Amino acid sequence: MGTGRISIGEIGKAIVVTHDASALRRNAVLVLVVGLLLTTALSYLIWRGESAQIMAARDRDASEAQSVIERKFLVPYEIVYSIGSYFLASQHVSQTEFIRFSESALKRHPSVSALEWAPVVMDSTRDELETRVTKDEGIEGFSIRALHADGSMHPSPRRPIYVPLLYIEPPSPGALGLDLASEPDRKQRLEKAAMSTTPIASVPFVLAEDKDAAQTIALYLGIPDAPLSLEETWGFAIALFRIEPIKEASIAALKERNLEFRLSDITEKDAIPLFQTSAFESSRELKVRPLDFGGRRWQVETHERVLRRPTLTIITSTVGGSLSFLLGLLVLGFGRSRQLERDIEVAKEMGQYKMVERLGQGGMGVVYKARHALIQRDTAVKVLIGKDESSLQRFEREVQLNAQLSHPNTVSIYDYGRTENGEFYYVMELLDGVTLQEMVDRFGAMPLDRALHILLQVTGSLREAHRRGVIHRDIKPDNIMITQLGGVYDFVKVLDFGLAKEVETDVKVTGVMEIIGTPLYMSPEAIQGQAIDAKSDVYSFGCVAHVILTSKNVFEATSIMEIMRLHENESAPMLDTGDKELDELLFSCLAKEPGDRPSTHELYEELEEILARHPWSQAEAEEWWSTHLMTAELKPLKRPQSGIVG
């Protein structure tokens, strides 16, 4: 209009434009603030996720190093246990037999440099031993010797007890007869090994013949492997092994890992380095894992070869992205971080056992074949069926009783715990063999010498259980397995202590007047529902002995009730084995009154004397297994031992 006036319409447009600009600025600031907040949040989440990944990788590498090194050190453990089993099963092992056994083991395992046997000798039998070894083993002038300060060896002064090196493979004439008990440090180690049920390791030392100062460790196992004094121990199986081959094998197994590591013995105040990789730096941030070996405390320290660092490249690439992209990455980053945390937690809770296959199911539980993740050992895992409190109480007590037993002829319990679902389980050795029931069903009665060899091992298992106040309650041929274990044939394992109960207890786990056992082998007091003790196991043992010596039950009838009546009221028939002392001993096991039966200690002592008159050798056992078990006549059984299913 040319008058210089502004119309109402123009003012309105200006207000609208100003309002829109403010809104745009506010929106821009809002988007910027939201973008910055989202970017900051995303940066934090990604950093958190990457950090979790790095920590998980470091933990995984450290655990892998520990696992690999521990597996490499299992070889001397296995060998020294095999020597122990060999001596337990054979009673007496000649030098020739020891050499044959050792040559095979040393050839398979080059890290083991020597195997030794050192019996415990009382002063009263020293002269007899020296004469016998000189005559029978052909070792001219053998004597028990002591090491002097100048390094020379002379006949040992008379002492109450000696532990001389009797067998050494490869031969070392200079060390033969060395009394290990003459040196205070070694004697202390021997006493510790005698009291332990597992091998005891020495501190690292250098053998005189090793010019390169290579470290060697000695592993001692007391025989039998039960807590005993030095005087009660038969002797010691000893394995010497060099650390260097184990170091090289460990480094080779871990060469693809981004990892440097060191193994140290930290038992004493001053740590003893055993071995490490060439680029290990103690100044770096270390992961430390414990490793127990032979009663000594070791540790594995690891660090990364190339340091991993978290990066923010993803954050940099998303700064200029849209809000939707940022939100998408936020969800992705948060989800990724949470998933990592869950994965780490799950990994911690999975435990050491991987289920391989289901083996069977019985009244109390389901049995699986499983494998230990660390040492790759096949085991049997029994999981409880049902979740009521009484079943849990029974099952937990079952495990506790089994865990007390350490006799080599008793099936071993390795571990127990709960699954993620709260189900209780325990882990035991997986056996591959033949039950006594299957032996009798397929081959009939056993020859006297072999039956005695097997019955003595069963008695040894029961004797240890009874000493600890544990009774089996279901001794029968199906619960006795004959195996080939560690190269020893006709090695017995007593199964199913799951029905056992502690003698001195007020806890009524099985219920009032509940009969537990198998009628063909039950004692009169068990059939009558009375309180039972270890003598009930002795009665069942007598029934088992009758079966394997005659292939017939003590009493035969057409009904369970009639069988039970006969066990309660009728005298058992006297056996005619050709050994009157044995016949009377087994007849006394079947006495109606528990007080008239021998204890398992008395039974063991008398059977041992009788077996000396009817020896069963490893050569005979090996011939039987090669003739029968390895043919179509009787194939090795791939099933769980019957005792762990029911």
Residues belonging to the active site: 474
Nearest to 383 by CA among 403, 373, 369, 371: 369
Alpha helices per DSSP H over 180-242: 184-195
CB-based contact 44:310 (threshold 8 Å): no
Strand (E) or helix (H) holding 66: helix 8-72
Q: Which of 423, 422, 425 is nearest to 414 (CA)?
A: 425
- Could you give phi then psi for residue 383, rounded to 5 degrees? -110, 135
Beta strand 353-361 pairing with 145-147: unpaired
∠ Cα 524 527 529 (to 5°): 110
Burial (CB < 10 A; 0-12, 13-18, 19+), residue 641, is buried
Count of CA atoms in the C-beta half-sphere (13 A) of 150: 3
Say if residues 497 and 411 touch (Cβ distance below 8 Å). Answer: yes
Show the tokens assigned to 562. 């009639």
How many CB atoms are located within 10 Å of the residue 489 CB? 21
C-alpha separations of 54 from 50, 57, 307, 313, 413 in Å: 6, 5, 10, 16, 37
- Of 529, 616, 627, 548, the C-alpha closest to 586 is 548
Give the pair of three-digit tokens for residue 597. 């039966």
Binding site residues for ATP, as ranges? Answer: 387
Number of neighbours of residue 262 by Cβ within 10 angstroms: 21
The set of residues, in sequence order, having a beta carbon less than 8 Å from that of 177 and lying 6+ positions away, is 142, 143, 144, 145, 153, 164, 165, 166
CA-to-CA dists, residue 318 to 51, 251, 328, angstroms: 20, 42, 11
- Residues annotated as binding site? 387
Specify which residues 240 forms β-bridges with: 114, 218
Question: DSSP string covering 390-444, please?
Answer: HHHHHHHHHHHHHHT---TTBPPEEEEEE-TTS-EEEEEE---EEEHHHHHHHH-
Measured distance CA(77)–CA(69) in Å, rounded: 13
Name the 3-class secondary structure at 290.
strand
**Would you say 178 and 119 are in contact if contact means Cβ atoms under 8 Å apart?**
no
Sheet-wide strand order for 433-435: 433-435, 480-485, 488-494
Cβ count within 10 A of residue 580: 11
The rounded distance, in Å, linking the Cα atoms of 76 and 200 is 11
Distance between CA 284 and CA 193 in Å, rounded?
Answer: 38
